[in-house]
Copies of this chain bind each other. A is one copy, B any other.
Amino acid sequence: MRILIIGGVAGGASAAARARRLSETAEITIIERGPDVSFANCGLPYHIGGEITERSDLAIQTPESLSKLLNLEVLTRTEAIAIDRISKSVTVRDLETGDESRLSYDKLVLSPGAKPLVPQITGIDFPEVHSLRTLQDMDRIETDLKSAKDVLIIGGGFIGLEMAEQIHHLGCTTTLVERNRQVLTPLDPELAKDLASTFESKGVRLHFSENLISIEQGPTAVFASGLRLKTDLIILSIGVVPENALAEDCGLALGDRGHIRVNEYQQTSDENIYAAGDVVETSDSILGGYRPLALGGPANRQGRTIADHMFRGDEALPYPGSIGTANVRVFETTAALTGYGEEFLRKQDVPFQSVTINAASHADYYPGAETIKLKVLWSPEDGRILGAQAVGRDGVDKRIDVLATAIRGKMTVEDLCHLELCYAPPFGSAKDPVNIAGFAACNLREGLLKPKYGLPDGRAIVVDVRPAAKAKSQPVPGAINIPLPELRSRLGEIDSTQPVFAICQMGKTSYFAARILQQNGFDAHSIIGGAHLNL
Chain A residues in the interface with B (C-beta under 8 A) = 10, 21-25, 40, 42-43, 46, 51-52, 57-58, 60, 65, 68-69, 71, 158, 162, 295-301, 304, 317, 319-320, 322-329, 334, 336, 338, 363, 365-367, 397-398, 400-402, 404-406, 408-411, 414-415, 417-428, 430-432, 435, 439, 442, 448, 484-485, 488, 512, 515-516, 519-520
Contact = CB atoms under 8 A, between A and B. Distances in A.
Which are the 3 A-B pairs with shortest beta-carbon distances? A409-B409, A24-B519, A296-B430
A405 B398 contact: no
Nearest to A58: B365
A329 B418 contact: no
B42 A319 contact: no
A163 B92 CA distance: 66
A81 to B, nearest CB: 29
A398 B417 CA distance: 18
Nearest to A42: B425
B515 A21 contact: yes
A420 B404 contact: yes
B317 A442 contact: yes
B519 A430 contact: no
B425 A46 contact: yes
B409 A422 contact: no
10 contacts: A10-B430, A24-B520, A43-B366, A69-B512, A300-B431, A323-B420, A327-B428, A328-B424, A402-B405, A405-B405
Residue from A366, A411, A418 with most neighbouring chain B CB atoms (10 Å): A418
Contacts of A317: 414, 417-418, 442
Nearest to A69: B485
A296 B362 CA distance: 14
A484 B301 contact: no
Nearest to A405: B405
A406 B300 CA distance: 21
Contacts of A328: 424
Identical chains in the assembly? 2
Nearest to A520: B24
Contacts of A336: 422
A484 B69 contact: yes
A365 B52 contact: yes
Contact of A327 (B397, B418, B427): B427
A41 B292 CA distance: 48
A363 B43 contact: yes
Contact of A423 (B46, B58, B326): B326
A43 B409 contact: no
A233 to B, nearest CB: 23
Contacts of A22: 448
A219 to B, nearest CB: 30
Contacts of A57: 365
A495 to B, nearest CB: 20
Contact of A448 (B21, B326, B365): B21
Contact of A425 (B24, B43, B430, B488): B43
B439 A419 contact: no
Contact of A325 (B299, B366, B420): B420
Contacts of A10: 430
A328 B431 CA distance: 17
B398 A52 contact: no
Contacts of A329: 424, 426-427
Contacts of A297: 420-421, 423, 430-432, 435
Given A296-B423, A327-B423, 18 more contacts: A21-B448, A24-B515, A40-B363, A40-B365, A42-B423, A42-B424, A51-B366, A52-B365, A60-B365, A69-B512, A71-B488, A297-B435, A317-B418, A324-B420, A325-B422, A397-B398, A401-B432, A408-B419
Nearest to A59: B365
Contacts of A326: 422-424
A393 to B, nearest CB: 13
- Most B CB within 10 A of own CB, among A322, A363, A365, A404: A365
Contacts of A408: 409, 411, 415, 418-420
Contacts of A69: 484-485, 512
A304 B352 CA distance: 26
Contacts of A320: 418
B304 A439 contact: yes
Given A297-B432, A415-B409, A427 B52 contact: no
